[in-house]
Each structure stands twice: as structure tokens, then as C-alpha cells.
Structure 1
Amino acid sequence: MRRRVVGFAGLAAFVGVGVAAVLGRPASEPVDVLPTVVGGLVAAGALAVQLRFSRTTTATDAARPRLVNRRQFLVTTGAVAAVAAGTGAGGVVLGRTNAVGDRSRAGVRLPAPADPAPVRPAGVETGTTGVSRFVTANRDFYRVDTALTVPQIDARTWRLTVRGDVDRPATYTLDDLLRRPLRERDITLNCVSNEVGGPYVGTARWLGVPLAPLLREAGVRAGADQLVSRSTDGMTIGTPLDAVFDGRDAMLVVGMNGEPLPLEHGFPVRLLVPGLYGYVGACKWLKELEVTRFDAFDAYWVKRGWSARAPVKAASRIDTPKPLMPVAPGPVQVAGVAWAQRRGISAVEVSVDSGQWQPARLADGPSPDTWRQWAYRWDATPGLHTIRVRATDGRGAVQPEARADTFPDGATGWHTISVTVPG
């Protein structure tokens, strides 16, 4: 009896987690939980049959080789086979869906940019081992979203609609966008959920359609102040319209580091607005742009208490040495990256054991919209040491010391690590 209760309780908990995960998606509807519930019911039936079969064993049966009742055997194995078949069919369907996305992406040919990225200075990297490269490889670029599975989109049938408070609504195919003059830029993107010293930040060379001219063609009406982007999986992101029209490189991105957008990073088209956290300026798997007002619509994360306007805060990170890592006595390179999109980084300083702040050597920065590497030579002595870093942005504002959580508009504070130097 106890085994039966435990078995069904575990199964119910498993199904409950699945239902919660499905309903947590932005575009979920009650009907979306049916596959999870049906799978749970089938599994429960198989478990019930198995438990009933196990109870037919008597004390006498236990003393001799077990002879399985043929009917019970067929029922049990049939139920298990049904579950396996359902799971296998789901895997086949998912595999075919993935193949559609991969084939579609493989067929996209990106034109050369009409406005190529400026040539990177020779000194964009300090040459320090262990520091994040200036350009983050696509395979290493962070991914933060609510999609349980990566949306698979056929670029041939994909459409982007521009509507709302505009005089001339429009619909675009991917080919329409690729025929427009494309812009290429190095831009650092980071997630608002990135904690102090966290990994959710990276820099890529993006290729895309400048957004401001496209919206001007649509005729944005007076009074509109928000651009709502919608993804194919139902995510909504609200971007301040003034961030689109103030001269920054806001784009509808089609390429990343010289290739079509990877599926997990928004293929075929994503939004990218430099200087804003991703949840207000970087919608992936884009399908619609709606011009509206902040007082008329709250985007997905704003409904959950996050700030509607979220400019990126200055931040710095120590990449090497790693926290609690043993460090040999003598010269040690303390190094990392710092960023403050739209303002740039003008200085980075390092303090050891709460001592005076010392200037770090800065790598060249090709744009205020990219991070900068930095390095500091520290003469390590035996003992346990604390190392802190802080940055100053291009407007002279020093990164604040006070620690703040990521909620509701991004973390603040100095990244601090401890290292041990053997005696």
C-alpha cells in the first residue's frame, strides 16, 4: 500500500511540475497542458496495472519460480509500450521540427552590409589569459528566455507586421528586410538578471536593418512612446520609442558574428537596442512591432514588477584569478571586462585588501556600446586577499559600491573576490 501511495504521489508531482512549466510560458493556454496531463494519465494506468500484477503473488508463489499470467503480462507490457510509443512519437516530431529550422537557416544568404562596422583597434584585447574575448563566440553567448523549446521558424513563411499607432501599417518578409541597406555593429548585450560578476553578458558583431527608418516609413503618430515587440512564442517586450530615434544603432538583427542568427538567439530576426537590458530591448523570434503607449500596455516582465524603462548600469567584472583560486606569490595579472553601453568606459580601478584604488590598464574600446577589457599587475604576497574592481563610465560617473539586487532594474555593486596565496 505504501509503495502504491508513494508511486502515485511521485507521478502526480512530476505532472504538476510539467503543468506549471507549461502555464508559465508567456503564450500558454489551458489546452497546452493536455499532452502533459494525458501522458500522466497513461503512466498512472501503467503503474496501476503493474501494482495490481505485483499483488497477485502469494506466499506459495514466492517459494517457487514465478509463472507470469499471460494476460497480465500482455496488459502491462502493452501499457508500457503505449507510453514509450507516445514518447518516441514526440521525439520524432520534435526532431522533424528542429530539422525545419536548421534547413531554413542553412538556406539564408546574408548580403554584405551597406554600413560595415568600424575596423576594430589592434588593442581591443589586453592579451591576458583567462579574460573573456572581445567577441563572444555564438556557441558561448549567453541565453536567457522563457522558451521551453527553441522556436523553429521557416524563414520562407515568416512575416513581420508593423502596426498600432502608425499611419501606414506594413508587413515584411525576410527577403524584404535583406533587400534593405544593412548595418553592421559590435554591440555588447546583457541581461537584467545578471548579478554582480555574473556571466549573462557578451559582445557580438551584429548585422541588421536600422529600425528608425523603417518606423518612419510607417509614420509613427504623435503621442506614442512605446514600441511593443512580440515573439512567435508569445513574449512581449516594451521599448521606449525615444531609444529607437535618438541616434543609437537600434536594429532588426538578421546576422550574428558573420552568420545568420542561430536558432537559440532569435532566428530569423530579433530586435536589438543598444544600452537597454534585453528584457526591454532585445526581443527574439520577432513577429510583430506595435507602436503604442506605456500607459496603454504593460509588457510581459513589466506585469511582473520589473521596470518599464531599463537603461544598462555600469558594471565591471573580474575574470581572472577565479574566486578562492590558489595564486602563486609574485606578479599576478588581475583582469576582466567592464561595460556601460551608450556611455562607454573611461577608467577601471582595482583595490586589494581595501587599500587605495589603483588604475588598471584599459584595452582599446571601438565603441561606447561595447565592453572593454582591463588588466592590473598585482604583486601577490602570502595570505588570504580580497580584490575589488570598479569602473568609471564615459560621463565620469563612478560605479556605485552599494549592492542592489537585479530586481527591478539591474544589479549594482563592486565585484569582489577572495584568493589565497600560499606562504
Structure 2
Amino acid sequence: MSIPRGWAALVGIVAAAVTLAVAELVSVMVGPGGSPMVAVGAWVIDLVPPFVKDTVIALFGTADKIVLIGVLALLVAGLAALAGIAQYRRPPLGVVLLAVVAGIGALATVTRPDSSGIDALPSVIGMLAGAAVLMLTTVRLKAWRDVAAPAGEGTPVAVSTAPSRRAFLRMVGVTGVAAVVVGLGSRAFTAATAAVSAVRASRTLPPPAVAAPPVPASASLDVPGLSPVITPNADFYRIDTALQVPSVDPAEWSLRIHGMVEEEVVITWAQLIALPLEEHAVTLSCVSNEVGGDLIGTAMWLGYPLRELLKRAMPQAGADMVLSRSIDGFTASSPLEVLQEEDRACLLAVGMNGELLPLDHGFPVRMVVPGLYGYVSATKWVTELEVTTYDAEKAYWSTRGWSERGPIKTESRIDVPRSGQSVTAGTVAVAGVAWAPHTGVAKVEVQIDGGEWREARLAQAVNTDTWVQWVLEWDAAAGSHEIAVRATDATGYTQTEDEAAPAPDGATGWHRRTVSVS
């Protein structure tokens, strides 16, 4: 009797599950930087070509990390199955393959920013545990095969296969279930960042010394389905390079300003929140946002002006860029002159919409810079500001084909009616949002079926750094219709019809929707 190849593949998958489960368990004690899945995932994000990143975000939006983890899980499962078959047929090739895969995980962990040699420990211990399971379980599988083999020319001794088969299945089942329980439990413990969440919950947001004016009622149009003026925290887009949200205790956080400065500045959390904080409504946008996309949102941010901290440091002549660094190694390059502008609310932010920053939006401290795409300004979990030059330093995305300065482009979006939606003939509200951060929107125009442009009614803007709602009452006739929109900013610039992909400096084009009127 031959044992089906699938059993050997299952042995490999169980061994890989044990490897990952033990690695996650050890990383709970060593630190989240030792998690091989997180490290390899971050490695992939770093190495993947920009066009792949753009495609994934375009297809899956803020679910991009879930997709990446799913792809990695499938890849690991495939390699694990191959290792099981190799170990069954030609030992110790399966163990060698498992060691190679674990070695990649170890290498990924120790090459992450701020890593140390101990971060490889989870991968190494996980590999040893997985290799032991792979070898022992393969021995049980071969015992089942040998007992079930024909005795000479006679009939297979089938009656004696049951104990060997049960022993193999019991070992596979118990080991597999234990690996899943341990792995999920360890990952949940790490991902929950329980300690930091508790610390955040125990703290209160300091009141602003300079409060933002209340959002006027006239800033909101009464149109169902229209994006709210202020985006709730739970709905605010999240695009960053962190597979695992960093856990940063405010008591241990500090920001260092150094580089081309007359005086190095270090500020702690306690010192930061004791400063006269300011509150500002600001719209942020991801450079990966497609025309009409939802990788954009507006929040009420609380923080301290970056220009004031830079004044303390006194940048030297010739400096033209501030390289901000996150605790997870991400960097962004912001124009120094922009951060120093007196009329621009560039903040070292601690609050978002009336509460401390959520963990996945940068708690305890992040940057907020009106008018620049997030990849050159909105560094989360920020710990360093290096005053330097564009010639001397390159930021994370600047080395991957994106432009260095990233001003947000004047754009507009149709929220209602939705594309493909069927509406009743008569008066139909066509509505959406438009933005030109730090410039302001002067007008929005709507075009039906390629006809003349009609000016929409604008709601009152909260300020020039936020998006603005707009609406046009359309007398819709039966049939299929295409709606287009364009915005003009306060400088007189009208958004272009020319279509361009997000790379290298933001998408362009008119947002269009097709609706059916009956």
C-alpha cells in the first residue's frame, strides 16, 4: 500500500504551523520585532516595485495588508507542503528547506531598523521545533506505510495498519491544533498591544491653548450619502508600511531634532503635551489615491506647531529638507520651508477628533502637514527629525520612484449618485467633495453627458486646508448618463482632464460616474 502524497504535504504544513506558532510565542517574550511573518511582510513591502504597490492599493485599498498576509500565508503553505514531501521521499531535504525558509525569516528580523541579534531568536527556535515535528511525524507516516506494505506475494496485512494510522493521525491532529492555538494566542497578544492600549486609555487629551473654530452648520450639505466634513476616526483611511502597529509607551517616547542645526533638541511626551497646543482641521490624502478614490479624509488635529520646535533647533544655512523617521524605520522628506511657514498648520500631533491619536494613526505622536501627500509629510510614530538636504538624504518612497516634494493636487470626487445606481427621473442631487489643501477651492463644476459645465453650489469651507462639500440639483431625464466633475482652486487653476496614475506625484483626471435614470 502506498501512502498518498497529500499526507506528506500535510506533515510539512503542520511542521510549518509549529514553526510559526513557536516563533510567535517566543516573540511575545523577545519583542514584536522578532515576529518572522511581520518582518518578512515588511521586507516584501520594502522590496516590492512601486507599480505593484499601486496596483494592490488600487484593487484592495486599505485591505492591502490583509491581502499581503494572505499571499504570504499561501506561499508558506506551498513551501511547507513541498518540505513535507521532500522529507518523506529524500530526508533530510525537507528539514533543509524548512531551515532555509526560517533563515529568511531570521534575516528579515535582524535587518529591520532598530533590530538586534536577539530578534532572530524566535525564527531559530521556531525552526528547531518545526524540524523536530517534521522528522518525528515523517517517521510515524513511514511506520504506517511499512505496516501497510504487502507481505511477500500475499494480501496486505491490513488488519495491523490501524494502530500505526491512528498514531500518525493523532500526532498530526494534536500538533496541528496546538500550533493553531498557540500561534493565534501569541499573535493576538502581540497585536493587541495590551499594555500601550491600557496606557492610552488611562490618559486624557490636554485641552488646546488655541482651539479651532467650531465647524459651521453651513459647512455640511443635507445630502444622504455625502462624505461628512469631519471623517470619524474609525473611517479614516490608513495606508502605511507597518504590518504590525508599533507599540510606543508615551513615557518612553521622545523626539530628537538634529542634523544641520545650531542646537540639537530633544523633547519628551510630558514636555510636548505641556506646551500650548493648537487645534486645526486638516485634510490628509495618500498619494496612492486614484481619481475619485477614498484614501483621503479630514480630521480635527491637536498638536504643537513644528515651526516652533524648528526655531529652537535653528536650522543652518543650506538646509532644505527635514527627514522624519518613524520608530519602525519609515522615513519621509518634507520641505523645510513648508514646515517653517507661519500660516501653515504643520503639527506634531497628539490628538485626532477630540481624543488621543488611535494606535493605528500614530499614537503617541505623528506629523500632520497641510498640502503635502502623506508619503512626504504624515509620519506616524515619529521619533526623529533630521534637518538636512535633498541632495544628502533620500526618504523611503523617494528611493522607489516617487517625487520628493509631493504637493497635493486640486481634485474633486462625486459621492452621489453612485456609479451604476438607478435613480428616478426628476430633480437629482449630484454631490461630492473637492479639495485643494492650503490653497482652497474656488468653484466646482459638473458636466452631464459631455455638455456645458454647470457651477455647483459650495458649502462653506472650514478653512483652506480642508475639503469642501458641493451639490448640483440636476433635472434628470430617463436614460443612461455620464456625470463628470472638476474643481478650480483659489489661484485659478482648474483640475486637468489629462489622466495620470498616482506615481510619481499623484493621480490626475476628472472623476466620472455613469447612472441610470428611469
Whether TM-score is above 0.5 comes out as yes
**Contact persistence 2:11–2:172 (CA under 8 A):** no
Going by fraction, where is helix more abundant, 1 or 2? 2
Cα 1:126–1:49, aligned 2, differ >3 Å: closer, same or farther?
A: same
| Shift, 1:90, TM fit | 2.1
Following superposition, the deviation at residue 64 of structure 1 comes to 8.1
Partner of 2:90: none
Contact 2:304 2:348 in 1 (8 A): yes
Contact map agreement 2:444 2:458 (CA 8 A) in 1? yes
Q: Tell me the residue number matched to 2:41.
A: 21
Counterpart residue identity of residue 167, structure 1: E
Quote the residue 2:85 is aligned against.
none
- Decide which of 278, 285, 289 is 1:190's aligned counterpart: 285
Per-residue deviation, 1:33: 6.8
Question: What's the CA shift for 1:35?
Answer: 4.1
**Cα distance change on mapping 1:88 and 1:396 into 2, 3 Å:** closer
Match of 2:63 in 1: none
Shift of 1:25: 5.5
Paired letter, 1:3: G
Secondary structure of 1:24's partner?
A: helix
Q: For residues 343-422 of structure 1, what are the structure 2 equivalents within 5 Å?
A: 343-422=439-518
Q: Report how far residue 110 of structure 1 moved.
A: 2.3
Q: Does 1:257 align with 2:353?
A: yes
Q: Which runs of 5+ in 1 are unaligned?
A: none
CA RMSD, 1 decimal: 2.9
Does residue 274 (structure 1) correspond to residue 294 (structure 2)? The answer is: no
Deviation readout 1:229-275 (Å, 9 max, x if unpaired) = 11111111110001011221111001111111110100001011100
Secondary structure of the 1:123 match is helix
Cα distance in structure 2, aligned partners of 1:18 and 1:116: 39
Deviation, 1:120, is 2.6
Matched residues in 2 for 1:390 and 1:2: separation? 60
Q: What is the SS of the residue equivalent to 2:271?
A: helix
The aligned amino acid for 2:481 is H
AA in 2 matched with 1:300? Y
Q: How big is each residue's C-alpha offset from its partner over 1:146-174, in whole Å with a ceiling of 9 and x where there is no partner?
A: 10111111111111111111111121111
CA distance in 1, matches of 2:14, 2:182: 17
Aligned runs of 1:83-162 on 2, under 5 Å?
83-84=179-180, 86-87=182-183, 90-91=186-187, 93-94=189-190, 98-162=193-257
Which of 238, 247, 258 aligns to 1:163? It is: 258
Report the TM-score when normalising by structure 2: 0.75
Q: Which of 241, 245, 269 is the matching residue for 2:340?
A: 245
Deviation track 1:363-413 (CA, whole Å, cap 9, x = no partner) reads 000211000000111122222211111000111110000000000000000
For structure 2, list consecutive stretches of 5 or more residues without a partner in the other structure: 21-35, 47-107, 112-116, 150-155
Shift, 1:333, TM fit? 0.8
- Aligned mates of 1:381, 1:263 — CA distance in 2: 48
Cα distance change of structure 1 residues 67 and 330 upon mapping to structure 2, 3 Å threshold:
same
Instruction: Note if contact 2:8-2:138 (Cα within 8 Å) is conserved in structure 1.
Output: no
CA distance in 2: counterparts of 1:202 and 1:70, whole angstroms = 57
- Give the C-alpha shift of residue 109 in structure 1: 2.3
SS of structure 1 residue aligned to 2:509? coil
Q: Once the two structures are superposed, what CA deviation does each residue of 1:21-59 show, in whole Å capped at 9, x if it has no partner?
A: 142366953466764676567556545655554451527
Counterparts of 1:89 and 1:344, CA distance in 2? 49
Given that residues 22 and 33 in structure 1 are in contact (C-alpha distance below 8 angstroms), is that contact kept between their aligned partners in structure 2?
no
CA distance in 2, matches of 1:48, 1:131: 60
> In structure 2, what is the Cα distance between the partners aligned to 1:116 and 1:84?
49
Please report how far the alpha carbon of residue 285 of structure 1 lies from its aligned counterpart in structure 2 after TM superposition. 0.4
Alignment partner, residue 31 of structure 2? none
Shift of 1:93: 4.1
Distance change >3 Å, CA 81–CA 130, structure 1 → 2: closer
Q: Secondary structure at the match of 1:331?
A: strand
Provide closer, same or farther for how the CA distance between residues 413 and 70 of structure 1 changes in structure 2, counting only shifts above 3 A: closer
Distance 1:135 1:310, change over 3 A: same
Cα deviations by residue, 1:111-170 (Å, 9 ceiling, x for unpaired) = 221211123332101111100000000011000001011111111111111111111112
Distance, in Å, in 2 between the alignment partners of 1:381 and 1:64 is 80
* Cα distance change on mapping 1:355 and 1:185 into 2, 3 Å: same
Specify whether residues 124 and 62 from structure 1 end up closer, same or farther in structure 2 by C-alpha distance, changes over 3 A only. farther
Could you tell me the TM-score, scaled by structure 1's length?
0.90
Q: Which amino acid aligns with 2:457?
A: R
Give aligned pairs, total.
Answer: 421
Classify the secondary structure of the residue corresponding to 2:197: helix
**Counterpart secondary structure, 1:119:** coil
Q: Work out the CA distance in 2 between the residues paired with 1:351 and 1:40.
A: 61
Contact 2:281 2:465 (8 Å CA) reproduced: yes
Distance 1:418 1:50, change over 3 A: farther
Partner of 1:180: 275
The question of 1:217 aligning with 2:277 is answered: no
Give SS of 1:156's match: helix
**2 CA distance for matches of 1:272 and 1:64?**
71
The alpha-carbon distance between structure 1 residues 12 and 88, as it changes in their structure 2 partners (threshold 3 A), is closer
Q: Is 1:46–1:80's contact at 8 Å kept on the other side of the alignment?
A: no
Q: Structure 1 residue 343: deviation in Å? A: 0.9
Is 2:6 aligned against 1:3? Answer: yes
Percent identity between matched residues is 44
Equivalent AA in structure 2 for residue 194 of structure 1: N
In structure 2, what is the Cα distance between the partners aligned to 1:380 and 1:48? 71
Which one-letter code corresponds to 1:132 in the other structure?
A: S
